Amino acid sequence: MNLFDLPAAPSPEETTTVLADNGNVRIERIISAGQTSGWYDQAETEFVALMDGSAVIEYADNKTVELSKGDTVLIKPHERHRVSFTSNDPPCVWLCVFY
């Protein structure tokens, strides 16, 4: 699989592909094109790498992080956050590692 093999047209829904999962670590490729999310409060640590596009992650304490191609962020367990913006062109290609 090539991380940049994307569907011909952006999907109206975010697309998540689980690349690996051994019960302790899960690696996902997520493609977003304009979608945003609700609030997350997850038990795992999440390492996020934005491989393409631009996005904004907003935290419950009103902190925001603007991400561009190549940026990474580490989200701690139970650190409430949401994705408040994702670019359409190019779409966001996320590589997320949960542990």
Chain segment 24-79, per-residue pLDDT in tens: 999 999 999 999 999 999 999 999 999 999 999 999 999 999 999 999 999 999 99
Q: What per-residue confidence (pLDDT) applies to 7?
A: 75
Phi, psi of 62, deg, nearest 5: 75, 5
Could you tell me whether strands 72-75 and 46-52 are parallel, antiparallel, or unpaired per DSSP bridges? antiparallel
pTM of the predicted protein model? 0.91
Is the predicted pLDDT of residue 1 greater than 90, yes or no?
Answer: no
> Both tokens of residue 72?
């990474």
What is the reported pLDDT for 8? 73
> Does residue 11 surpass a pLDDT of 80?
no
- Which residue ranges form the domains of the chain, and what is each CATH number? 15-98 (2.60.120.10)
pLDDT of residue 12: 83
